[in-house]
Each structure stands twice: as structure tokens, then as C-alpha cells.
């Protein structure tokens, strides 16, 4: 059987798949730290940390209605792909996970070297730094935006609905947050993406050859 690399729609992503899978675990590990905080007030002081990052919110955990109703009672689980196997994960649904992680794709950059006929793909920002920023931003935004008086609604309806739930702009706003954050990081650090050494970057051949 002949495999045509240039016809494979996921050829590029395959080379970076392990990084994407690790980031999914990192998000779940971050959320577990929030759930596992000793007290509700821990969210407002400087004692709660995830790796090298200090977590601090503007309100106590039990003042975030969205978190307390939809997240706090979720069970924990073991990581699968994380480089930190000792850290527990929060077992969130794949639909909810999508809304946390899909915007993080804005941090991926891919470039082509015509002379070497090869591609390079990597993270523009340190993915852990961006996760720390994004989770605080997202959770606060959920709490400010999503009203929970509609009864039981599925995650994809809550965050992507174009119907009468009134949440149609939330998912788009999450993507916009990450895009603007990464763009600011590029401008602030005068980064030239044609030469920039990206985080955890991988290099692989152009998918023009046929591999048997």
C-alpha cells in the first residue's frame, strides 16, 4: 500500500501531536490544582501555585457560580501524556476540554524553509505560561458571561450555541483572547517568526515525496 504524504490532511499536525496531547493534560492538571485548593479563599491569596506560577483570582472560589455549579464536583484522574506524571488531573468532559484547549492552537506556528525543503512547527509562547494566563482569563470570563438559569445545558451548547441561550460569542471571545495574547508577546519581544527558536519545536520534511 502506498502512502502519499502530500495528501494526508494531518501530516503536519502528526509531527506535533505529542505536544498537543501534553497540553491537554496540563490544562486538566491546572484545573485540578484549582479544585484541590485547601479553602475557597485560597483563590485570592498568593499561596496557590501550579509549577512555577502563582494562581490568584479576584474572588474566592465559592463566589464563582460557574465553577461551583459545573466544575468543582468533578472527579480527579491520572495524566496520560503529561511530562509531570505525579500531578493529578481533573476529569472534565471532552466537550468542555475542547473549549479550554482549542483556543490554545493560536500559539502554534509553522514555517517552511524552501532551501532545506523542510517545515518547522512549535509553540510561540511557553505553553505552560500561556495556560496559566489563559485559565485565569477563561474562568473569570465564564463567570462573567455565562448565566446558569437556563437549566441543564450541555457544554457545547453553553459555549458555542447560536440559539436562544445567549452564549454565542463566548467561544469566539476565548479564541480572541489567546490570539491577542500571543500577538502581544510577539510584538513585545520583537520576534521574527521566520527565525525564532520556538518552544519544543520540531522539524520535518516537506510532504511532497511519496513514501512506500
**Which cell numbers in the block locate residue 45?**
491569596
- Can you tell me the distance from the alpha carbon of 52 to that of 48, in angstroms, rounded to the nearest whole number? 11
DSSP 8-state symbol, 74? P
Q: What is the pLDDT of residue 164?
A: 47
Q: Which backbone phi and psi does 195 adopt, to 5 degrees?
A: -130, -10
Q: Would you list the DSSP string of 32-58?
A: HHHHT-SSGGGGGSS--EETTEE---S
**Which cell numbers in the block locate residue 109?**
506556528
Q: What is the pLDDT of residue 155?
A: 58
- Can you tell me the distance from the alpha carbon of 24 to that of 22, in angstroms, rounded to the nearest whole number? 5
Q: Which residues of the chain have pLDDT under 70?
A: 1, 147-169, 209-212
- Can you tell me the distance from the alpha carbon of 21 to that of 82, in angstroms, rounded to the nearest whole number? 8
Q: From 129, 130, 148, 132, select the one nearest 64 (Cα to Cα).
A: 148
**DSSP three-state, residue 195:** coil
Per domain, the residue ranges of the chain are 3-211
Contact yes or no for 74/91 (Cβ under 8 A)? yes
β-strands 108-113, 3-4 pairing: unpaired
Q: What is the pLDDT of residue 136?
A: 93
Q: What is the pLDDT of residue 161?
A: 47
Has this prediction a pTM greater than 0.85? Answer: yes
Amino acid at each position: 500500500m502506498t502512502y502519499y504524504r502530500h495528501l494526508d490532511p494531518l501530516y503536519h499536525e502528526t509531527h506535533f501531536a505529542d505536544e498537543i496531547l501534553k497540553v491537554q493534560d496540563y490544562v486538566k492538571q491546572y484545573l485540578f490544582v484549582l479544585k484541590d485548593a485547601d479553602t475557597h479563599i485560597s483563590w485570592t491569596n498568593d499561596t496557590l501555585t501550579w509549577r512555577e506560577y502563582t494562581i490568584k483570582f479576584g474572588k474566592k472560589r465559592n463566589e464563582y457560580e460557574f465553577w461551583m455549579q459545573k466544575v468543582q464536583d468533578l472527579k480527579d484522574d491520572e495524566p496520560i501524556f503529561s511530562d509531570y506524571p505525579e500531578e493529578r488531573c481533573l476529569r472534565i468532559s471532552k466537550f468542555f476540554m475542547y473549549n479550554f484547549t482549542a483556543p490554545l492552537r493560536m500559539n502554534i506556528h509553522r514555517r517552511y524553509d524552501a532551501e532545506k525543503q523542510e517545515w518547522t512547527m512549535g509553540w510561540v509562547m511557553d505553553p505552560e505560561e500561556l495556560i496559566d494566563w489563559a485559565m485565569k482569563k477563561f474562568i473569570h470570563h465564564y463567570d462573567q458571561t455565562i448565566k446558569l438559569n437556563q437549566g441543564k445545558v450541555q457544554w457545547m451548547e453553553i459555549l458555542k450555541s447560536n440559539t436562544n441561550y445567549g452564549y454565542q460569542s463566548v467561544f469566539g471571545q476565548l479564541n480572541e483572547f489567546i490570539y491577542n495574547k500571543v500577538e502581544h508577546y510577539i510584538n513585545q519581544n520583537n520576534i521574527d517568526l521566520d527565525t525564532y527558536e520556538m518552544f519544543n519545536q520540531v522539524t520535518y520534511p516537506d510532504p511532497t515525496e511519496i513514501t512506500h
